[in-house]
Amino acid sequence: MQCSRAVLISGGIASAMMTGAIPAGAAVTPSAPAHAQYVHASSAVSANPAISSARLHWRIDERLALDYTQSPAENPTGYSFLDVEPVGPSDAWAVGTSGYYDLFWGHPVWRHWHDGKWISPPVPAWMNGAKPGGWVNELEAVGGSSPNNVWAMGSLLLVTETVDRAVHWNGRRWSVVRMPASLAFGADRFFAGGGILATKTGGIWLAGAVGPSYKPAIIHFYRGRWTITKIAAPDYLTALVSDGHGGMWSASWPVGNISAQIWHYTAGRWSRSANPAGIKPQYRITWMAAVPGSRTTLGIGIDTKNELLLSSP
C-alpha cells in the first residue's frame, strides 16, 4: 500500500433518497429546520503589506494518512477530503471518503472546524456505506446557513450504479433526509453536480442533473417539499452560489463543441446570462464563490487561450 498525507489547513486568524430501508439508528429529517441566519463578519484591507504578511498566514493544523488501498480491501483507514465549507463565523465542515480507490469499501469521513480547532466527531454507524444497510460510501459536498443547519450530499456505490443521498446536521445529530423515490431510480433521478446552497429561510438548493439523459436541473427542498427546475443548459450544473441580493448563480459544464453557460436566478426564475466579454468559445467555469456581505461573485475557469479569473458585477 502506498501512503501519503491528507492535510487540514486554516488561516492564521479566526476566520435521502428512499431506495430502501432507513439504516438502523438513523434519525430522519422530517422537514426543513427552523429559520436560521448567518451574518458574515466584515473585513478590512490593510494598507501595510508587511504587517499583513506577518499576521495573515496559513498553517498546517493536522496531517492525516491518505489511503491508496485498492478494492476489495475491506478496511481502508485513510482520508480523501472532497469539500470544505464554512457554516458560521467559527464553524466549518470538511467532508470526503476514506480513500481514493475504495469504491464499495469506502466510508464517509469528516472533520468539524469549531472555535479555531479541527475536531473529529464520530461518524454514525448507520452512515457507513461499507457495511450492509449503510447510507453512503462518501460525502462529496457540504453547505449550510448556520452551525445548526448543515447539509451534505454523498454517494452509495451499488453493483451497477451510484445513488446520491442527503444527510442533515441540526447542531446535535446527523439524520437521513427523505427524498422522493422518483429522485432515486425514476425518470427524475438526481445526479449531484457538487453545488449546495442553504438559504437563510431554511431551504436548500442543489445543482446537478436529472433523468437518464442527464438534463441539467436545480432541485429545491423547502418545508418538506422537493421541487425540480430543469434548465436548458448543454450539460449538468456544477457551481451554485448566492448573488448577494436574493438570487443565485450557477454554471453548466461544456459538452462537445458547446461551451459552458452561466445561469442566474432572480425573481423566481432562471435565465441564461451573457457570456463574459472577450471570452473565447469553448470555455468552462470551474467554480464560483460568493464574497460575504456583498453582491460580488467570483469565478475561475478556462477558455481556449487562457486560465480565467472572473467577477460579477
**Rounded Cα distance, 285 and 233, in Å:** 13
Written as nine digits, the cell of 96 is 470526503
pLDDT at 199 (0 to 100): 81
**Rounded Cα distance, 29 and 16, in Å:** 9
pLDDT at 76 (0 to 100): 62
Taking alpha carbons only, the member of 81, 64, 59, 48 closest to residue 14 is: 59
pLDDT at 150 (0 to 100): 94
pLDDT at 19 (0 to 100): 45
**Rounded Cα distance, 138 and 99, in Å:** 9
Q: pTM of this prediction?
A: 0.75
Written as nine digits, the cell of 220 is 429545491
Task: Return the CATH fold of 187-313.
Answer: Neuraminidase (2.120.10)
Written as nine digits, the cell of 87 is 457554516
How far is CA 246 from each of CA 169, 205, 221, 233, 289, rounded to the nearest angstrom?
24, 13, 17, 22, 15
pLDDT at 7 (0 to 100): 56
What are the domain boundaries of the chain? 1-30+56-179, 187-313
- If phi over 0 gives left and psi between -120 and 50 gives alpha, with beta otherwise, what is residue 273? beta
pLDDT at 2 (0 to 100): 37
Tell me which residue has cell 441539467.
216
Contacts (Cβ under 8 Å, ≥6 apart) of 38: 87, 88, 89, 145, 146, 200
pLDDT at 184 (0 to 100): 67
pLDDT at 30 (0 to 100): 55
What does the pLDDT look like over 197-213, one tens digit per residue? Answer: 988 776 899 999 998 88
Written as nine digits, the cell of 69 is 488501498
Opening angle at CA 200, ends 119 and 269, nearest 5: 130
Instruction: State CA 180 to chain mean position distance.
Output: 20
Complete DSSP assignment for the chain:
--EEEEEEEEESS---B-SSPPPTT-EEE-SPPSP---PPPP----S-HHHHHHHS-EEEEEEEEEE-PPTT-S-----EEEEEEEEETTEEEEEEES-SS-GGG--EEEEEEETTEEE-PPPPGGGBTTSTT-SBSEEEEEEEEETTEEEEEEEEE-SS-EEEEEEEE-SS-EEEEPB-GGGTTSTT-EEEEEEEEE-TTS-EEEEEEETTTTEEEEEEEETTEEEEEE---SS-EEEEEE-SSS-EEEEEPPBTTBPP-EEEEETTEEEEPPPPTTPPSS-EEEEEEEPTTSS-EEEEEE-SS-EEEEEE-
**Rounded Cα distance, 96 and 86, in Å:** 15
pLDDT at 101 (0 to 100): 64
Which segments in the chain show pLDDT lower than 70?
Answer: 1-21, 30-57, 66-77, 100-102, 184-185, 202
Yes or no: say if 166 and 173 are a contact pair by the CB < 8 Å rule. Answer: no
pLDDT at 36 (0 to 100): 31
pLDDT at 273 (0 to 100): 92
